[in-house]
C-alpha cells in the first residue's frame, strides 16, 4: 500500500502552494494530485502553474495526476477541462462525468475521482471499459461493501482509498463563504484565501459539524482510517489518499508511512492525536454515520 496526496481543496496564496508542495517532494508519496477541484474562480494558480509544479514533482520521482473540477457547469470550465486533457503528459482524475466522457472520447486513461458516483461493480465495469485505471471509491462506501466489490472477479482496477483528511460532503452552485460575508458569489473578494483550512460551522450548542469551503461543504472532523490499516492491507488496497490541510501535513505523511512499515498503530494514533487538527471520524468505513469515530456501536445522546 502506498501513499498519495489528494488535491488541495483550499485556496492558498501562490507562494504558499509552491512552498507546500516543494517541502513534500522528498516525502514518501507515490502520487500527488494537482489542480483546482472546488471553484473555477480561484485563479492564483493557473493551469500553467500547476503543470510547472507537476514537472518539478515528476522530476523528483513522483507520479503527478491532474484533478478536474468536481462541478463543471460553464463553457469556460469545459474549456479548462480541454486544456487539462491536452497537457500531453499527466493523467487526469475525473471528478465529473463530463471529464469521463472527454477522456473516453480521446482514449485517455483516467482515475475515477471520489466525486464520481461509482458504488457498484456494474458501474465500475462500464467505467473500466471507458478507460479508468484507478478508482477512488465514494466516501460513503463501507469497508464491507468494498470487500464485496474487491472479491468480484470482474473488478480488476487499482483502488485508492480516501483515508485521511476533511471529507468533501457536498457541492453547490452557491458559495457559502461569500454568503457568510454577505457578498455575492460573482464579487466574492476571494474570501476563501482568508481561510486556509476552511470556515468552521458549529451547531448552536457548539458542536463542530462542518467546514464551509466556498461552494464545497466538508466534514469538520478529519477522516482517519489508520485504525483500519490491517483490514485495508488484507483487502489489497493499492493506495491511501491523504487530503492536505495547512497544519503539519509532513508529519501526517510520515506517521502513515511509519505505520505502514512497522504496523505500530498505537504509536501512530498517539502521534496523530498530538497534531494541531485532531478531531477524527471514520463512521462510513464501518457502515455508520460518517461523523462517528470508531467501530463500536454507540448511541449518540443529545
Partner 1 sequence: MKRSAMELVCPAGGLPALRAAIDQGADSVYIGLRDDTNARNFPGLNFDPATAERALDYAHRRQRKVFLALNTYPQVQHPEIWQRAVDLGAELGVDALILADIGLLDYARRRHPTLRLHLSVQASATTHQAIAYYRDRFAIERVILPRVLSLRQVQRVVEGCGVEVEVFGFGSLCVMVEGRCLLSSYITGESPNTKGVCSPAHAVRWEERGGQHQSRLNGVLIDACSGSERAGYPVVCKGRFAVNGRIDYAIEEPTSLSVLDLLPQLQSAGVAAIKVEGRQRSPRYVAQVTTLLRRALNACAADLEHFQVDPAWSQGLAQLAEGSTHTLGALDRSWQ
In the complex with partner 1, the residue whose CB is nearer, 15 or 301, is 301
| Mode of pairing for the β-strands spanning 110-112 and 280-281 | unpaired
Shortest CA distance to 242 belongs to which of 161, 177, 151?
A: 161
Q: What angle do CA 213, 217, 4 make, to 5 degrees?
A: 80
Site string for partner 1, 33-62 (x = CB under 8 A): -------xx---------------------
Q: Which of residues 78-107 bind partner 1 (CB under 8 A)?
A: 78, 81, 96-98, 100-102, 104
* The one among 52, 79, 126, 270 contacting partner 1 by CB under 8 A: 126
* Beta carbon nearer to partner 1, 30 or 108: 108
Window contacting partner 1 (CB under 8 A); options: 25-33, 60-68, 74-82, 257-265: 74-82
- Candidates 88, 205, 266, 297: give the one binding partner 1 (CB under 8 A): 205
Residue 178 gets the label, from left (phi > 0), alpha (psi -120 to 50) or beta, of alpha
C-alpha cell at 231: 483490514
Binder among 2, 179, 191, 231 for partner 1 (CB under 8 A): 179
Do 39 and 71 contact (CB within 8 A), yes or no? no
Report the greatest alpha carbon distance in the chain.
54
SS3 for 254? helix
Smallest distance, partner 1 to C-beta of residue 291, A: 5
Query: Which range of residues in 13-21, 57-65, 229-237, 289-297 is near partner 1 by CB under 8 A?
Result: 289-297
Cell of 212: 464551509
Residues 268-287 that bind partner 1 (CB under 8 A): 283-284, 287
Distance CA(190)–CA(164), nearest Å, equals 27
List of residues 6+ apart from 170 with CB closer than 8 A: 216, 217
Measured distance CA(198)–CA(174) in Å, rounded? 16
**Whole-angstrom distance, CA of residue 11 vs CA of residue 43:** 9
**Minimal distance in Å, beta carbon 21 to partner 1?**
27
207 touches partner 1 by CB under 8 A? yes
Give least dist CB 131 to partner 1, A.
Answer: 12
Among the candidate windows 50-58, 228-236, 270-278, 294-302, which touches partner 1 by CB under 8 A?
294-302
- Site track 182-201 with partner 1 (rule: CB under 8 A), x = hit: --xxx------------xxx
Amino acid at each position: 500500500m502506498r501513499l498519495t496526496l489528494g488535491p488541495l481543496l483550499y485556496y492558498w496564496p501562490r507562494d504558499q502552494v509552491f512552498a507546500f508542495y516543494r517541502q513534500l517532494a522528498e516525502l514518501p508519496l507515490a502520487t500527488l494530485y494537482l489542480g483546482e477541484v472546488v471553484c473555477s474562480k480561484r485563479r492564483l494558480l493557473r493551469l500553467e502553474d500547476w503543470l510547472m509544479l507537476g514537472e518539478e514533482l515528476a522530476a523528483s520521482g513522483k507520479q503527478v495526476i491532474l484533478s478536474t473540477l468536481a462541478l463543471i457547469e460553464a463553457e469556460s470550465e469545459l474549456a479548462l477541462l480541454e486544456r487539462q486533457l491536452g497537457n500531453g503528459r499527466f493523467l487526469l482524475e475525473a471528478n465529473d462525468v463530463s471529464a469521463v466522457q472527454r477522456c473516453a472520447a480521446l482514449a485517455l486513461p483516467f482515475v475515477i475521482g471520489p466525486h464520481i458516483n461509482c458504488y457498484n461493480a456494474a458501474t465500475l465495469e462500464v467505467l473500466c471499459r471507458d478507460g479508468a485505471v484507478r478508482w477512488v471509491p465514494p466516501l460513503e462506501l463501507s469497508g464491507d461493501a468494498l470487500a464485496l466489490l474487491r472479491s468480484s472477479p470482474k473488478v480488476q482496477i487499482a483502488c485508492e482509498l480516501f483515508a485521511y483528511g476533511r471529507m468533501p460532503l457536498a457541492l453547490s452552485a452557491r458559495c457559502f463563504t461569500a454568503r457568510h460575508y454577505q457578498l455575492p458569489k460573482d464579487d466574492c473578494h476571494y474570501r476563501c484565501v482568508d481561510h486556509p483550512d476552511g470556515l468552521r460551522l458549529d451547531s448552536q450548542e457548539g458542536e463542530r459539524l462542518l467546514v464551509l469551503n466556498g461552494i464545497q461543504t466538508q466534514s469538520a472532523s478529519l477522516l482517519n482510517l489508520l485504525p483500519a490499516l490491517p483490514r485495508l492491507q488484507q483487502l489489497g488496497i493499492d493506495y491511501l489518499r491523504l487530503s492536505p490541510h495547512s497544519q503539519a501535513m509532513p508529519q501526517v505523511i510520515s506517521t502513515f508511512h511509519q505505520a505502514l512499515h512497522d504496523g505500530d498503530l498505537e504509536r501512530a494514533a498517539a502521534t496523530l492525536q498530538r497534531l494541531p487538527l485532531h478531531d477524527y471520524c471514520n463512521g462510513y468505513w464501518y457502515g455508520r454515520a460518517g461523523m462517528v469515530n470508531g467501530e463500536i456501536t454507540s448511541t449518540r445522546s443529545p
